[in-house]
Each structure stands twice: as structure tokens, then as C-alpha cells.
Amino acid sequence: MDKHVMAILNNCKEKMHNTIPDWEKAINAFHRIWTPERDADIQASIIELEEYMKGQEEQDKAMESRMRFVMAANEGLKPGSQKEFDCPICGGQAYASRASYNGHLHARCDNCGIVVMQ
Ligand SMILES: [Zn+2]
């Protein structure tokens, strides 16, 4: 396998060690199917994989921001009350209220546009 492919694989390895527990097996799998003729195909698959991982990372980040927003909105918010708070995502003015009858949270930030209803 050429150095370029190994470099991409190692780069993927860095990013994926949390996601693919058995990375050595994955590398071996690439090694097993690699032939000079398949090189371009395999590289394309690896790049696809890399892009997929990037997408996952972005999703994780978005999820994490959302969690932080919900936690900030929930803090000290009693049923039937409402409050203003600093949006932990953009620093803008955010609003949260909790319904008295079912305890559901409704929170939003008009600055970054996040809305949470639960
Ligand atoms: Zn915001």
C-alpha cells in the first residue's frame, strides 16, 4: 500500500479511535483488499469514510451545544415560571419557560435561532 494511503489511514485512525474500537482490524481489512488496480477505489472509500466522520463530528458538536442550551435553560426554572438567560451557544438573550401543568420546557434564543421544546 502506498505511503499516501497509509497517511490517510493514519489520519483517520486519529479521528476514529473512539468510534472504531478495533482499528487494527479495519486497517488489515484495507490491506487485504488493496491491489494497485483497486488503489483509486480504496482511496475514494477512505475519503468517503473521512467525510462521513467529519459529518459525525459536526453532529456531535451540534448535539453538545443543544445539551448545554437545555441545561442552561433548565437551571432553576420551576414549573409555571419563566426566565431570561444568556445563551451558552451565542451569548445572546435567551428565554425559557416551564409549563405548570406538565413541566414541559420551552426555550429559545432569537439570536442564534435555537428552539427547544420538551
Ligand atoms: Zn443563541
63-75 pLDDT, tens per residue? Answer: 999 999 999 999 9
**Do 46 and 85 meet the contact criterion of CB atoms below 8 Å apart?**
no
Report pLDDT for 15. 61
Does 50 lie in the same domain as 12?
yes
- Is residue 8 domain-shared with residue 56, that is, in the same domain? yes
pLDDT at 26: 72
Distance 71 CA to ligand 1 centre (A): 13
Those residues of the chain that have pLDDT short of 70 are 1-2, 4-6, 8-9, 11-23
Residues 7 and 40 in one domain: yes
Residue type, 12: C
State which residues have CB under 5 angstroms from ligand 1, the bound ion. 87, 89-90, 92, 109, 111-112
What b/e sequence results for 91-112 when a residue is b if at least 16 CB atoms lie within 10 Å of its CB, and e otherwise? Answer: eeebebbbeeeeeebebbbeee
| Domain C-terminal end among 20, 36, 62 | 62
Count of other CB atoms within 10 angstroms of residue 9:
21
Q: How far is the CA of 91 from the centre of ligand 1 (A)?
A: 6
| Number of domain units in the chain | 2
Asked if residue 85 and residue 54 are part of one domain, the reply reads no
Range of the domain at 104: 78-117
- CA 51 to CA 4: how far, in whole Å? 17
Q: What is the pTM of this model?
A: 0.67
Considering the domain architecture, whether residues 25 and 53 belong to the same structural domain is answered as yes
Contact indicator for 9, 30 with CB cutoff of 8 Å: yes
